Each structure stands twice: as C-alpha cells, then as structure tokens.
Amino acid sequence: MVTGGAGFLGSHLCDRLIKEGSDVICVDNLFTGNKDNIRHLLGNPYFEFIRHDVTMPLYVEVDQIYNLACPASPVHYQHDPIQTGRTSVLGALNMLGLARRLKARILQASTSEVYGDPEVHPQPERYRGCVNPIGIRSCYDEGKRMAETLFFDYKRQENLNIKVVRIFNTYGPRMSLNDGRVISNFVVQALRGEDITIYGDGSQTRSFQYVDDLIEGMYRMMNNSREDFSGPVNIGNPAEYTIKQLAEIVLKMTGSSSKIVYKSLPSDDPVQRCPVIDVAMSELGWKPKVALEEGLKRTIEYFRGLM
C-alpha cells in the first residue's frame, strides 16, 4: 500500500511497484494528489485506488506500507497547517497501528526538513537538526520529526519492522504547475516568460535529485533484508547549487527571455541543505545517477506538454 499514492512521488512509486509485479493499493485524499498521475494505472488489475484521508483509520490487508501521505511544499502545507500536523502525526499512528496488526513492514517518507536551518553542513543522519518549533514551517518540520519518533517508538515497544528515509529536494515529471517548489516555480515562470522569482539574494544552496533516483532508494530501503537496519537514511543528491545558479541553468535550458527578480526571504527558510549519503551507499548500494541537466531536460519537456 502506498499512502499519498496519487501525488508526485507516490505515483512514481506505484509505477515502480507495479513494474516489479506487486499488487498495489494506492490511498490518497486528493488534496495535493491528482488522479491524472495514476490514470494510466486505473485499468490495471493489480492496481487499486482508494480515496481516503489517513487521519482516519483504514482496514486493508497488505504486507508492505509506504507512508507518503502529506503535503510537501510550503505553499500546500501552510495552507492548512493544523491539518498538515494531523496528517503527519495521526496518519503515522494509523499506519503504524495497521502495520502492527498485520505484522507488515512499513516505510516512513520523512524529509530533510527535520534538519531545519542546519548548523552542520552537509547533513549526516546523526545530526539532530535546528528547527523552529513555532514558525510557519513547523507544522511540516515538527510533524515529520514526531512521525519519526512514533516510528522508532513502535520499533522499540512493539518490535515493528520499520524503515525511515529522509528525502531531500526532489523534482521531475508530475509536479503540479502550482507546486510551489523552486524547480517547478522556475521552469513554469521561464516557459511563461514571467520574471524568475528568487527569494533572498540567491546564495542559499540546495541539492536536487531526480525522482527516479529517489524511487530507487526508497525501494531498496523497503526491501533491505536487515530487520535491525531501520535508518533513518538520507536519500538525496549531494551535488550542491545556489538558487541563483539554478535559475541561470533553467533560463539557458528553456531559452527563456525571463528576467531574475529578488524578493525577501521567507521566515525560517534554510540557508543550506545538502545530504551526506554514506549510509545509503554502504547499506543500500545506492547513489543518484541522473545529473541535474538531464533531469531538468525531462522536467522541462513535461511542463511544456502541460502548458
């Protein structure tokens, strides 16, 4: 079962699981998910879609649960911050309870946001983060941190077979036009000939991984046979770019005449974000393969098709 399965990441994961020969139950309330992302799977006899909110209990029979349900971009998770917190915490509790009943393996899609605005760079899994618990991003950051707490408490108290991955900035086809994250923002603005909006002076850095690389890492983590290895594991691309560099690359690749404009940096926006992936490399034999320019080429083609 994949919660959040009609979303950007979840739909790609469903594709991968179907390709591997699994029976897949996709669960989504369609707040940020979209049926168009899974339309090609709806006629597949090994695929089932259930419209459901994970803050409410769900009773199905599965042997693996990928818990991806939660708005992931600031625009969406700040729209209803209370519901975002409920989704992270109550959703985790409901899925953990289901996994306990079924004795199923469960994977939590956590996030690099648990590191907050980091004082350690790049960020290894042992770093505990620097998160503002009362800021505008807290509903997501602290919600995901609490979800990780619940997962490891279920492991210790209930001997549950858990896996936790921390996802760094991911991009690719099926991002929505109004996704609100930096790559989709820049690509859409460039294709429309609108100003490219940079918040801050553009010197802040991010690392960007293509969606196929992420899905491979998640799949390997779920199917890692070591029950004593639960993570958390950083899944991200350690190639680091400034936001200004990214804007310039997008402008060049789209051939856009858009201009770059600068606006004030939002509250609690992290200055640096880059993963240490030694654990993923040693334990999962995983590292990203898709370079930024190649991933952007595929993403730009996707958005051209939408527009």
Structure tokens at 66: 């990928």
Q: Is 77 helix (H, G, I), strand (E, B) or coil?
A: helix
Which residue in 92, 87, 140 sits closest to 112, CA to CA?
Answer: 140
Question: Could you tell me where the DSSP H helices lie in the chain?
Answer: 8-19, 74-77, 81-102, 138-158, 182-192, 211-222, 243-254, 278-284, 292-306
CB–CB of 85/143 below 8 Å?
A: yes
Catalytic residue among 77, 140, 210, 219: 140
Mark whether 140 is an active-site residue: yes
Q: Give residues with Cβ within 8 angstroms of 63, minimum separation 6.
A: 102, 104, 105
Which residue in 36, 128, 111 sits closest to 73, CA to CA?
Answer: 111
**Could you list the active site residues?**
140
